[in-house]
Amino acid sequence: MPEQTRLVDVVDERLSSFVSSREQAMSSLSPDLGHLAEYVTGLLANGKRFRARFCYWGWRAADHVPGAIDATGGTESLADLDHVVSLATSLEVFHAAALVHDDIMDNSDTRRGKPAAHRFFESIHRDRQYSGGAERFGESTALLLGDLLLAWSDDLLGEAVQKQTPEVAAATRAQFSQMRQEVTLGQYLDIHEEAAWNHTAMDERLNRALRVVTYKSAKYSMEAPLLIGASLAGASDEILADLSAFGLPLGIAFQLRDDLLGVFGDSDVTGKPSGDDLREGKRTALIALGEQSMPVNAQTLFNELLGDRSLSGEQIDVLQSTLRSTGAVEEVEQLIDRYANESLAALESARIAPGAKKELSRLAAAVTKRQS
């Protein structure tokens, strides 16, 4: 009897069993590790699994095996899919690590409607009335948790490639390694722009913001998962190039949408306070475009408020209204459309399996039109 299982459900099951096995190992080491396992379980329990899905369809773009999960989500057998499921799952764990570290650097209070990792461990310290500073305990614990998740991601990557040919294993690891390096350097560029923004010429800021978008998010969100999945299937250079031409502009459109949601998104939908990116002082393409159209005095006031963690709801409203009045929101929407159209044009001419092309087109619409 065919087993009708969606890819996201398969990845969720793999995540659950993997975390459960690690939780058992942790509990045998010390009961004090329980709160680490508790947070990981919650963090990995939810998600749209975009990276896993792009990884899988990158694999399918270059290869097709009987029983593979098709575009409707059905599958007859998962026995031959363990390697690609492990690979897709490793990307979800890597993403979780990046979120934990990113929230520390951004000093974020929430993640998906719940306390960010460092805030969660901070509360553990306070509730148990431990000695020392709660903030330092929370941040230090979250840093270690992020590192632990990175190690677990590599464990899953190892499982994915262990039965592959040396050439396929090396190619897949090389793509994964490049992704890790680029997102780490992109994260630094993000930190750098926040510090150096006011020392940068106005006409350079948009390009610098787009560079951050590219390396911090776009490549690792869409392009890298596609290339990593395709490499596991032994993809040719031509297929890798076609997937890159599709994935990179789509990733930029994805992050530009995220930047709009970070300023104007509904907190009940996004799981983060409305305007949170304004409190965090994110120097995004939206901010760069808005500043270009502001009078000098408005620019000065805007930059004095941007990044102030104590901004009231009324001050957030003022900053949002200021950005809307500049036309920057419409300009970012136009950029999203431009990059999305570039991505779809590349997909149309891509030399990949038709079923994968159809599903990737659906995914492209989902990531650029989302509300959270």
Give per-10-residue mean pLDDT for the chain (372 aa): 62 94 93 93 90 96 61 50 95 97 92 91 96 97 97 98 96 98 96 92 95 95 97 96 98 95 86 86 95 90 90 92 95 97 97 92 90 75
Who contacts 12 (Cβ-Cβ below 8 Å, separation ≥6)? 49
Identify the three-state secondary structure at position 191. Answer: helix
Tell me how far apart the alpha carbons of residues 133 and 360 are, in angstroms, rounded to a whole number: 48
β-sheet bridge partners, residue 110: 115
Superfamily of domain 7-368: Farnesyl Diphosphate Synthase (1.10.600.10)
List Cα–Cα distances, 144 to 104, 111, 239, 240, 317, in angstroms: 11, 18, 38, 34, 37
**For tokens 């890159």, what's the residue?**
244
114-115 vs 110-111, strand pairing mode: antiparallel
pLDDT for the residue numbered 336? 96
pLDDT for the residue numbered 372? 73
In b/e form, how buried is each residue of 255-269, taking b as 16+ CB within 10 angstroms? bbbbbbbbbbbeeee
pLDDT for the residue numbered 72? 42
Residue 264, both tokens = 């104007």
- Contact, 302 vs 315, CB < 8 A? no
DSSP 8-state secondary structure symbol assigned to residue 108: -
Q: Nearest Cα to 178, choosing from 109, 250, 141, 231?
A: 231
Tell me how far apart the alpha carbons of residues 27 and 213 are, in angstroms, rounded to a whole number: 39
Who contacts 261 (Cβ-Cβ below 8 Å, separation ≥6)? 270, 370, 371, 372
β-sheet bridge partners, residue 75: 3
List Cα–Cα distances, 285 to 46, 51, 128, in angstroms: 28, 23, 43
pLDDT for the residue numbered 77? 52
DSSP 8-state secondary structure symbol assigned to residue 163: T
pLDDT for the residue numbered 273? 81
Q: Global pTM?
A: 0.92
Cα–chain center distance at 28: 32
> Which own/partner contact pairs does 351-356 have at CB distance under 8 Å and 24+ positions apart?
351/238, 351/239, 351/242, 352/61, 352/62, 352/239, 352/242, 352/243, 353/60, 353/61, 353/62, 353/63, 353/64, 355/60, 355/64, 355/70, 355/71, 356/57, 356/58, 356/60, 356/61
| Domain extents in the chain | 7-368
Who contacts 49 (Cβ-Cβ below 8 Å, separation ≥6)? 7, 8, 11, 12, 88, 92
pLDDT for the residue numbered 342? 98
Tell me how far apart the alpha carbons of residues 252 and 114 are, in angstroms, rounded to a whole number: 27
pLDDT for the residue numbered 167? 97
How many Å from the N-terminal Cα to the C-terminal Cα in the chain? 37
- In the chain, alpha helices (H): 7-29, 34-45, 50-62, 82-106, 117-127, 134-161, 166-196, 205-212, 224-232, 237-264, 267-270, 276-280, 285-292, 296-305, 313-326, 328-348, 354-368
Backbone angles phi, psi at 66, to 5 degrees: -55, 135
pLDDT for the residue numbered 113? 81
What single letter denotes the amino acid at residue 289?
L
List Cα–Cα distances, 110 to 43, 69, 113, 315, in angstroms: 11, 34, 6, 20
